[in-house]
Amino acid sequence: MQDILYWIWLSRIKNLGSIKMRKLLEVYNNPKEIWKQNRESLMKIEGIGEKIAQEIVKEEYKKNLEKYANYMQNNKIKLISIFDEKYPKNLKNIYDPPQILYVKGNEKILNDFSLAIIGCRQNSEYGQIVTKNIAKQLAKEKIITISGLAKGIDSIAAREAVGNKTNTIAVLGHGLDMIYPSENICLADEIIKNGGALVSEYILGTKPLKMNFPARNRIISGISRGVIVIEAKEKSGTMITVDFALEQGRQVFAVPGNIISENSKGTNELIKQGAKIVTNINDILEEYM
């Protein structure tokens, strides 16, 4: 059986997160060896209890693997394991890197210098103007941007990158056989055509479940060298990404906003806590150039 089929099998197993998967790979080195194990041997691995061991040996996960591989081949979706040279080096060094990435598009840019642009879904007109301006200026500098392809700031940043013929990366919280939200299907196609990439740690068929997106956010910050926050409420997915960025040692930039706007409470608080304030593109570039 081809190696890719073993990796597909491993990523199908429910409740086997990146940390448990890493523990298994540290012992058995590759998914083919894990495939050969029985429940009793798997239970001997630290962190792999009876329930997970029982899940791993289920026969249902070993069926129809060629169906996934064929879909990937027909739709030009690649599987990159953490052992692959193409795996993003920045991401590899975080606390819990995904052991498997599915990539559609230009996987080479995953190791290029990039900055994440993140923000709230219900952006204001001010947020839209600022996002377009910053994304456009970064595009002029040929800097790759990363987003989650969500509504609002993420989509605005991605569209601006595509419109200015610059590569952009979208990290998704579901399988690459779908696009969520559906209104961004055309945008996702444009990202690919423009030399960008769609990335996910989730197997084909994975729905855009709410619990997937916080985990997705660690990949956005993990691939990037820094995170630019444009409009964020005090408690939001954007702030979760910021927490990951700080944990990963990434530079955090924040655009100040209206002090009575809910959309600016998060960004203004970040500035108070030490995030670098951004009023023009040079505030970002001087950190790296």
| pLDDT computed for residue 1 by the predictor | 59
What does the pLDDT look like over 221-253, one tens digit per residue?
999 999 999 999 988 889 999 999 999 999 999
pLDDT of 286 strictly over 90 = yes
Q: What is the pTM of this model?
A: 0.95
153's tokens: 């700031």
Rounded distance between C-alpha atoms, residue 140 and residue 107, angstroms: 22
Rounded distance between C-alpha atoms, residue 92 and residue 100, angstroms: 11
pLDDT of 208 strictly over 80 = yes
Give the Cβ contact number of residue 44 at 10 Å: 10
pLDDT of 39 strictly over 70 = yes
- Helices marked H in 45-184: 50-56, 65-74, 89-92, 125-140, 153-163
Mean pLDDT (the chain) is 95
Q: Where are the domains of the chain?
A: 3-74, 107-285
CATH 1.10.150.20 fits 3-74, yes or no: yes
| pLDDT computed for residue 188 by the predictor | 98
The pLDDT-based confidence of 283 (bands split at 50, 70, 90) is very high
- Four-residue CA torsion sign, 198, 97, 21, 26: positive
Architecture of the CATH domain 107-285: 3-Layer(aba) Sandwich (3.40)
pLDDT of 35 strictly over 70 = yes
**Distances, alpha carbon 68 to alpha carbons 90, 102, 189, in Å:** 28, 12, 21
Segment 137-147 shows an average pLDDT of 96
CB 47 within 8 A of CB 70: no
What does the pLDDT look like over 58-72, one tens digit per residue?
999 999 999 999 999
The conformation of residue 277, written as its DSSP 8-state character, comes to E
The pLDDT-based confidence of 55 (bands split at 50, 70, 90) is very high
